[in-house]
Structure 1
């Protein structure tokens, strides 16, 4: 059984202990480090690559988005799960645009952290219901702007993969649907990120929908 290594960034000691415990008891997860500041997290990230970063946003020495962006710069394929009390649209959008794939509020994370981490590692997105509403509002705003459709740089297969991502399919499910290997699906997704100049699944869906490359209603 493969073990996935997690880096936990949470400044509140009691919360860090509870979240760390939830990671430790999961049979497929190993807690590489648990830190309480942006500075500590960046030091750990520079020393080794975890499979997933679990990050709070409100930290004593800065905003967690800074760490998310740094993690994605160092390791483009790292998965990132935000666990925070911040439920405003600005925080949600900034975290997703920086590279987060999942976003949970702490009240939900205490009970569902292990499952949320594994879902994120499988290429899915764990999103609290309150956060999903912010995303729907953002899509509606984009639709209302009536921006002319740009030239689509994606291949037909990349478009198909992106549609499946938008519908919440995991990498393994997409691979099975197209009779591809999971590594081939990951290669398609890397190409999508490069062509759309994005760094996460959520941001790719935002950008492609915004530009008219995919239609979430299909």
Structure 2
């Protein structure tokens, strides 16, 4: 194999606050020869790194000292559509998985199920594949199958079902939830009081018969209430 040139190298921003994990991933990628790796331990450090330009690949944890990785994923996807984004996290719950994927992550690996060759996995991501831990893939399949089975056979599905009878305001708030906005950001965007947003969200959960953000977003997408 010929040595990679500067133009061939894949730029990676690795956002991970756990020092041993960060070191292990950085060394594995740097040792492969075709990666240029920059590291950050917080959202603010990652944003500062973006000032020099967006990388080809963003690898990010979700639990960070100064915020949630979903914020970084959303910001990166909006500012740099060409950047491939993969989550590397211990979080495998419904809300974390769906929120990350809905705002732009194209891969999702759990830290307890790292592939033996992380460099090959990142190359697959760049090639257009979506590396996902087996347990996450099974979860997505179950959710998709469950949504399909809930629909009566032969029944025509309209573009917008809205069987929960959400109000236009509730749909606007649901879109904000799906995009990963905070309650304060949703309130500011819609011209609402910060204190009124939780009440609207409780109403949305009740109408959709869900208990979590991820479930609400999934159901809204199934009914065509929002598009991302």
TM-score (normalised: structure 2): 0.63
Tell me what 1:47 maps to.
Answer: 52
The 2-side partners of 1:90 and 1:112 are apart by 28
The correspondence for 1:28, drawn from 28, 34, 40, is: 34
SS, match of residue 32 in structure 2: coil
* SS class of match (1:111): coil
Matches within 5 A, 1:47-86: 47-86=52-91
2:22 pairs with 1:13: no
Q: Could you tell me whether the CA contact under 8 Å between 2:87 and 2:105 is conserved in 1?
A: yes
Aligned partner of 1:115 in structure 2 is 120
Measured after TM superposition, the shift of residue 47 of structure 1 is 2.6
Higher helix proportion, which one? 1
For residues 121-178 of structure 1, give each alpha carbon's deviation from its aligned partner in whole angstroms, at most 9, with x where no partner exists: 0000101101111111221232144381439xxxxxxxxxxxxxxxxxxxxxxxxxxx
2:159: which partner in 1? 150
Match of 1:102 among 103, 107, 110: 107
Q: Secondary structure at the match of 2:116?
A: helix
Structure 1 length normalisation: TM-score?
A: 0.66
CA contact (8 A) 2:115 2:121 kept: no
* 8 Å contact from structure 1 (residues 19, 110) kept in 2: no
Based on CA coordinates, which of the two structures has the bigger radius of gyration? 2
Residues 109 and 131 in structure 2, CA contact (< 8 A), matched pair in contact too: yes
SS in 2 for 1:30: strand
Q: RMSD of the TM alignment (CA)?
A: 2.3
Q: Which residue of 2 aligns with 1:178?
A: none
Q: C-alpha separation between the residues in 2 aligned to 1:142 and 1:45?
A: 38
User: Unaligned regions of 5+ residues in structure 2, if any?
Assistant: 161-217
Q: How does 1:152-171 map to 2 (within 5 A)?
A: none
Distance 2:96 2:146 in 1: 17
CA-CA distance at 1:27 after TM superposition? 2.3
